Amino acid sequence: MGYEFNYEEKMGTLLISDEDFTRLVRFVQRNYGIDLHQKRQLIQSRLTATIKGRGFSDFKSYVDYLLLKGSGDDINELLVKLTTNYTYFMRETDSFDYFQKSILPQITRRKADKTLAIWSAGCSSGEEPYNITMYMMDYFGSQWGAWDTRILATDLSLGALEKAEKGVYQLPENFPEQWRESYFTPAGGRRYQVTKQVRNNVIFRQFNLMDPIQFRRKFDVIFCRNVMIYFDQPTKTALIRRFYDATVPGGYLIISLSETLPPNLPYKRVSTSIFQK
């Protein structure tokens, strides 16, 4: 007795009951495809401040509120706390190189209307779609202006999208100097802003990947990297089938080098983490 209390309680972390844990995990999984069933500690540690800050005394009242009356902002706050927006420029350059050297020459050859449709699904704070734009500008060179290359970039997190729209970043060490000079302007200290020309090539929208895909056009290339890591297998399979339907024949899906596709999907693998319809 006396000193044998729970470490979390001592630190002021709220504990979640089995019942509330199950309710919360099911809710998030059903609506957002995110699998939290092994994240009990994370839920407790990351949500305690939110719950207290919102004036709730325990997980039960917070989960009751969320499931019955939670607004889009409440859900957004929850998901931001429980997932990661971690991203950076020049991430998995092998995939970008393949995109530039193999995919672009192939798809541009058959495009009489000079229009490409590219989607960065789960774009976080924008580094990925801006980076894709830079690879395309580099590829097209003086022909850039003749093509419509606008990228649709979507994410669930409004905070990440806000940062993306601003386009101000600290660049990683390995970022090519020539690209920094061509595609950024200094923004104070070690920060740089993506040029207007690059920013104008990307259209940011909030979109939940659990929702039906009803964009006007089908895509030539879909990038969905480091997003499905949160999803369970059935959610992943269903999403990839929706991607397939939203892709033109011969179009591509690019996932992260650390991910694999579930079996029995109609895509043909053409390179590591790159698949063709």
Query: The tokens of 153 are what?
Result: 């970039």
In the complex with ligand SAM, the residue whose CB is nearer, 104 or 254, is 254
Among 21, 32, 192, 252, binds ligand SAM (CB under 6 A): 32
Q: What angle do CA 50, 52, 54 make, to 5 degrees?
A: 65
Site size toward ligand SAM, by CB under 6 A: 25
Question: Can you tell me the distance from the alpha carbon of 81 to that of 67, in angstroms, rounded to the nearest whole number?
Answer: 17
In the complex with ligand SAM, the residue whose CB is nearer, 44 or 85, is 85
Contact string (CB under 6 A) for ligand SAM, positions 34-73, x = contact: x---------------------------------------
Contacts 24+ apart (CB under 8 A), 244-247: 244/277, 245/213, 246/119, 246/213, 246/215, 246/218, 246/219, 246/222, 247/218, 247/219, 247/220, 247/222, 247/277
Query: The tokens of 80 are what?
Result: 């931001």
Contact string (CB under 6 A) for ligand SAM, positions 81-100, x = contact: --xxxxx---x---------
Pairing state of beta strands 118-121 and 151-155?
Answer: parallel
Q: Residue number with the shortest CB distance to ligand SAM?
A: 87
In the complex with ligand SAM, the residue whose CB is nearer, 32 or 56, is 32
Question: Can you tell me the distance from the alpha carbon of 33 to that of 249, in angstroms, rounded to the nearest whole number?
Answer: 27
Give the shortest CB-109-to-ligand SAM separation in angstroms.
27
Residues 197-216 that bind ligand SAM (CB under 6 A): 208-210
Pairing state of beta strands 151-155 and 202-206?
Answer: parallel
Residues that bind ligand SAM (CB under 6 A): 32-34, 83-87, 91, 122-124, 128, 155-157, 160, 208-210, 225-227, 230, 256
